[in-house]
Amino acid sequence: MLVSAREMKRRIDDVIADATAFLVAQAQQEGKKTFQTAAGEIRVTGGAGVDYDVEGLLDGLRKAGCPEHRLDELVTVEIRHTLNRSVLRQLTGANEAYRRAAAAAEVRVERPWRASVR
């Protein structure tokens, strides 16, 4: 049953990809990315875009005399902490105080159920 459902999903994904390709071709031909249809408005997004080398941009703007406070507004710094569970197991297995600290920091989360076929 799961294999059949996944095959149907793959077919639907193929139909969606074909329809999207058709709409992208229409958008390019007509020179617009929004279409009005009987079903409603269709918008085509994506395609080529511009991204920036943030360090290079900051360096160039500094050299051009851009004030530092404006650079601070331009760039948001993100710090992401990830947990190495292998190290956590080592720490909590070797020291009772570490185990208690880890237990106090536990947060229960609900994750969606998934099934896989191999």
pLDDT digits (tens, 9 = 90+) for 7-41: 999 999 999 999 999 999 998 999 999 988 888 88
DSSP annotation of 106: -
Mean pLDDT by 10 residues, the chain (118 residues): 93 94 91 87 89 96 97 95 96 97 95 75
Q: Which of 107, 109, 81, 104 is nearest to 92 (CA)?
A: 104
SS3 percent helix, strand, coil of the chain, rounded to 5, is 55, 5, 40
What are the backbone dihedrals phi and psi of residue 41, each rounded to the nearest 5 degrees, phi first?
-85, 135
Question: What is residue 5's predicted lDDT score, i.e. its pLDDT?
Answer: 93
